Amino acid sequence: MSATGALIDGTVLLAQNNILLSPELASRLQFGWTITVHILFAALSIGLAPYIVYFTWKDVRSDDPAYARLRSFWINVFAVGFVMGTVTGIPMSFQFGTNFPRFAEVSGELIGGPLAFEAKMAFFLEAVFLGILLFGRERVSDRTYVLSSILTGVGAWLSGFWILVVNAWMQTPRGFELVERNGVEIAKLTDPVAAFFTPRMPWMYVHMMNASVIAVTLVVAGIAAYFVWRNRDSVAWNTALRMAVVVLLITAPLQALHGDAYGRHVADTQPQKFAAMEAHYETGQADLHLIAIPRSLDALTDPRTDNLFTISLPGLGSFLASGGDFSAEVVGLHEYDENPPVALVFWSFRLMVGLGFLFVGLALWGGNRLRKGRLADSGRYLRAMMLSSPLGYVALLTGWYVTEIGRQPWVVQGVLKTSDAVSRSLTATEATGTLVAFVVLYLALLAAFGAVLKWLIEGELERMGVRTVDDTSRPRLPWVSGDD
Amino acid sequence: MTELLPVDRYLVDSLPTIWFGVVVFSLAMYVALDGLDFGIGMLYATRDEHERETLLAAFGPIWDANEVWLVAFGTTLLAAFPPIYARLLSGHYLLSIAIVMGLVVRGVAPELREQREDPDWRRRCDRLFVFGSTVTPLLLGVLVGSWAFGTPTLSAPSLLTGVGLLALCVTSGAAFVAAKTSGSLADAMVRYGTTATVVYLVGVVVLLAVVALTNPSNVRALLLSAPALGAVLATVSFAGAGLAAARLDRHRLWFGTAFGLSFALVGLVAVLLYPRLHPASGLTVDAAVVSPLALNLTTVLGLPVLALVLWYFKFLYGTFAGPVDGSEA
């Protein structure tokens, strides 16, 4: 059953029974929703970690109060984000067993090791040294303190590594053979090096880590721009804004270049996903749609060239896929029995790429102003950065949707279908009920995190003397230094 | 790497059993360490505003790290015995989902509480914290009971295991807080902890009696084996020593015995589960374990890291050793 088919069947079931989704669809939506929320916080840890290390180091080394301010603000965000990341991540590892037990059983030898290494090598490191970083300022030496910030960051980046080892294996599985055990055909590990260092792994790691840094940098830049906009003389927040612009100048163009090469790699290794990214149905020469605008509502849910107003570069799809041949044949979606939900992949991909170019533009604009030494003078630039601050996350999520939804109907490409991975004992009632519960719970978490961010921002405004707020809303955490 | 590791035999013949031990050890560490966090969460309901700050300060720096032992347990089980992981969780679907939701609520509540001084906000966060800290270990105990005895979720052995774990958590939490504080707070902890220990002992006796009478999945014979009797004996000894240490105000020693009590409980579970890792289906260690190459690799990469993790914990607990008071929170 294709995902679109499942969606339709699920909707029919929904209509027939009024409320219930099929176990498969509900499980997929549940996992998709939990990872959507979790990844926001996981990326926050990864992207913010280098900033925390830098601010901590500068704070310990220099007596510049600007770094104390920046550190105090961002470590609060990091700490709350870490807790959110932990609690939203634990259900995901459980879901491999509760909702997708066939996936756990079939792929256990391949994914279990890396997941266990993630917990032991990375997660413990991050959690233990974050405890020291938040509560241990008076209890450890300066050197140990800075080292704790580094180890916390290493933990976050190493976590990403092992998780992407697993995910990359699911995209381009290698290093195993299928054998029968306990009446089930399972993947037996035969070559760990091949299994861990799959063709996809380095691509994913660079792209994901860089995406996390970009997403967080845009948040840092947006918040810094807001504070600078409210108080042009704030030394701390001018520093943060300059830093963010410099980081964006490096990371945004890198992501565009890397993304281009990554696309070619996807065309080589997952042609079906590549075809879905371009809504390329007929095998043959592929164009590249630079801009696609739906002519009708139909085109939103079923993007096909006829239904779209496009600005396309003829043959460039073939050129990219083949690495230089404008007339190369690109396999179309009609060649496959089942396809991923093409619309989700097609529009997600367009949104991600479009935003990537926007970030390059923002970086160049900011770089130019920075060169002239007039970064904070432009109200227009400050407003642009404020408006853009959530967009890095939008790009990150749509990128994940391309990767994960684009792999359907497979959970492990070419090895195990998602429909075969779902629990046989799961009922529609259980699956739908828990889906609703997760939606409500995670929405509450998002709302709580948004509220915390708002309170932190209000508290900072108050410290800057820009506005006074009711005393009850002042954030009060043990590790907030009374720096000014 | 492949050439360095044997592909078709385990590094040592008993490696599957050793990994069963690692799984059990991770679970015991989780019960002992996050157990104290749960216990503090329950005891929190009995404290006034000032003492609540002290309780939060006592476990603030360590609980994020304590919680990771659950993930370590789950992923180790998956890495070594994937079919057990799959069957255990999919077989207890609603229970497992309820546990993770309890963990979510418990996990965010104290962090959110500290973000705002508004009393209403704090009261709401506190309620969630107490609720999550009570429900999660109760359900986790039910899951472990169902697993070990092969009984349904709603059955006397499962529910009694849940209640037992709840009492054990209160004991650990009380002992930990007593070791970190003094005066009336420590005295109150001795009272609560003593009661919890007695409840735990009674709970274990009733549980064992029920199991011996009903004999689910033929565990009666296992209960009478030497290792099981050893675990029961250890439970009684640690509980007795704990009661004595609490009365003598030797609070650190008391916490040590609570730690031992957690290991004795998980040890009993291990006895019941070996070698039938999943009594409900009869799947054994040898049938469920991953192939030699996968387990050898996990051993070579994972076991040294586990040793390093224990060192981190020593460092973390050492850094925050000594008394706390509310003004630190």
Are B107 and A423 in contact (CB < 8 Å)?
Answer: no
Are A472 and B116 in contact (CB < 8 Å)?
Answer: yes
* Chain B contact probe: residue of A34, A41, A87, A453 with most B CBs at under 10 A: A87
Are A108 and B293 in contact (CB < 8 Å)?
Answer: no
Exposure class string for B227-260: b at 16+ Cβ within 10 A, else e = ebeebbebbeebbebbbebbeeebbebbbbbbbb
- Which of A14-23, A255-264, B108-117, B196-205 has the weakest average pLDDT? A14-23
Minimal C-alpha gap between B51 and chain A (Å): 16
CA distances from B80 to A41, A427, B219, B296 (A): 29, 28, 24, 10
Which token pair is A203? 């691509």
Are A190 and B7 in contact (CB < 8 Å)?
Answer: yes
Nearest chain A residue to B106 by CA: give it: A87
Q: Which ranges of chain B does DSSP label H, i.e. alpha helix? A: 15-43, 49-59, 63-80, 82-91, 93-113, 119-149, 156-180, 183-214, 220-223, 226-247, 251-273, 285-288, 292-319
Confidence at residue B267, expressed as pLDDT on a 0 to 100 scale: 95
Confidence at residue A484, expressed as pLDDT on a 0 to 100 scale: 37
How many interface pairs between A and B have CB atoms less than 8 angstroms apart? Answer: 239
| Long-range residue pairs from A14-21, CB within 8 A, at least 24 positions apart, any chain | A17/A428, A19/A432, A20/A428, A20/A429, A20/A432, A21/A428, A21/A431, A21/A432, A21/A435
Whether B64 and A127 have beta carbons less than 8 Å apart is answered as: yes
Which token pair is A368? 């130019």
| DSSP conformation class of A337 | S
Q: How many of the other CB atoms lie within 10 Å of CB of A24?
A: 24
The Cα B318–Cα A257 span in angstroms is 48
Whether A31 and A92 have beta carbons less than 8 Å apart is answered as: yes
Nearest chain A residue to B313 by CA: give it: A128
The Cα A175–Cα A154 span in angstroms is 27
Whether B44 and B133 have beta carbons less than 8 Å apart is answered as: yes
3-state secondary structure of A347: helix
Query: B191: number of CA atoms within 13 Å, CB side?
Result: 8
Are A437 and B101 in contact (CB < 8 Å)?
Answer: yes
B-chain residues near A94 (CB < 8 A):
74, 89, 96-97, 99-100
Confidence at residue A298, expressed as pLDDT on a 0 to 100 scale: 77
- Which of A317-326, B34-43, B134-143, B174-183 has the weakest average pLDDT? A317-326
In one-letter notation, the amino acid at residue A427 is: T
Nearest to B103 among A90, A135, A192 (CB): A90
Nearest to B320 among A79, A90, A139 (CB): A139
Are A127 and B112 in contact (CB < 8 Å)?
Answer: no
What number is the ipTM of this complex?
A: 0.92
* Chain B contact probe: residue of A31, A45, A90 with most B CBs at under 10 A: A90
3-state SS record for B230-244: HHHHHHHHHHHHHHH
Q: How many of the other CB atoms lie within 10 Å of CB of A378?
A: 16
Whether A88 and A38 have beta carbons less than 8 Å apart is answered as: yes
- Which of A43-47, A156-160, B263-267, B274-278 has the weakest average pLDDT? B274-278
Whether the pLDDT of residue B311 is over 90: the answer is yes
The Cα A317–Cα A329 span in angstroms is 10
| DSSP conformation class of A123 | I
Whether A233 and A366 have beta carbons less than 8 Å apart is answered as: no
Minimal C-alpha gap between B179 and chain A (Å): 19
Q: How many of the other CB atoms lie within 10 Å of CB of A178?
A: 11
* Chain B contact probe: residue of A92, A128, A134 with most B CBs at under 10 A: A128
Nearest to A87 among B62, B86, B104 (CB): B104
> What H or E segment, with its residue span, contains residue A410?
strand A410-412
B-chain residues near A476 (CB < 8 A):
114-117
The Cα A163–Cα A182 span in angstroms is 28
pLDDT in single tens digits along all 484 residues of chain A: 455 555 666 555 555 556 789 999 999 999 999 999 999 999 999 999 999 999 999 999 988 899 999 999 999 999 999 999 999 999 999 999 999 999 999 999 999 999 999 999 999 999 999 999 999 888 999 999 999 999 999 999 999 999 999 999 999 999 999 999 988 899 999 999 999 999 999 999 999 999 999 999 999 999 999 999 998 889 999 999 999 999 999 999 999 999 988 988 998 899 999 999 988 888 888 887 777 888 777 778 788 777 777 777 778 778 877 777 888 888 889 989 999 999 999 999 999 999 999 999 999 999 999 988 888 887 899 999 999 999 999 999 999 999 999 999 999 999 999 999 999 999 999 999 999 999 999 999 999 999 999 999 999 999 888 765 454 444 445 444 433 3
- Please enumerate in sequence order all residues whose Cβ is within 8 A of that of B327, keeping only pairs 6 or more positions apart, or say none: none
Q: Is the pTM of this model over 0.80?
A: yes
Sign of CA dihedral A67, A70, A73, A76: negative
Whether A238 and A373 have beta carbons less than 8 Å apart is answered as: no
The mean pLDDT value for B252-258 works out to 96
- Please enumerate in sequence order all residues whose Cβ is within 8 A of that of B250, keeping only pairs 6 or more positions apart, or say none: none
In one-letter notation, the amino acid at residue A94 is: F
Nearest to B78 among A115, A127, A423 (CB): A115
| DSSP conformation class of A330 | B
Where do we find the tokens 């367009």?
A350
Are A98 and B287 in contact (CB < 8 Å)?
Answer: no
In one-letter notation, the amino acid at residue B251 is: H
The Cα B67–Cα B85 span in angstroms is 19
CA proximity to B312, closest of A50, A84, A154: A154
Mean pLDDT estimate for chain B: 93
The Cα A1–Cα A7 span in angstroms is 10
Whether the pLDDT of residue B329 is over 50: the answer is no
Whether B82 and A112 have beta carbons less than 8 Å apart is answered as: yes
B-chain residues near A473 (CB < 8 A):
116-118
Are A189 and B293 in contact (CB < 8 Å)?
Answer: yes
The Cα A127–Cα A448 span in angstroms is 21
The mean pLDDT value for B93-117 works out to 94
Whether B111 and A80 have beta carbons less than 8 Å apart is answered as: yes
In one-letter notation, the amino acid at residue B242 is: G
Q: Which ranges of A270-341 does DSSP label H, i.e. alpha helix? A: 271-277, 297-301, 316-322
Q: Estimate the share of chain A in helix, then strand, then coil, as percent rounded to the nearest 5.
A: 70, 5, 20
Minimal C-alpha gap between A89 and chain B (Å): 9
Nearest to A473 among B72, B96, B118 (CB): B118
Are B79 and A115 in contact (CB < 8 Å)?
Answer: yes
Confidence at residue A480, expressed as pLDDT on a 0 to 100 scale: 45
Nearest chain B residue to A450 by CA: give it: B112
Whether the pLDDT of residue B47 is over 50: the answer is yes
Which token pair is A240? 């943060």
The Cα B78–Cα B176 span in angstroms is 31
B-chain residues near A30 (CB < 8 A):
none
Whether the pLDDT of residue B41 is over 70: the answer is yes
Are A131 and B312 in contact (CB < 8 Å)?
Answer: no
What percentage of chain B has pLDDT greater than the value 90? 86
Are A120 and B320 in contact (CB < 8 Å)?
Answer: no
Nearest chain B residue to A427 by CA: give it: B93
The mean pLDDT value for B237-248 works out to 96
Q: What phi and psi, each to the nearest 5 degrees, are found at residue A416?
A: -140, 125
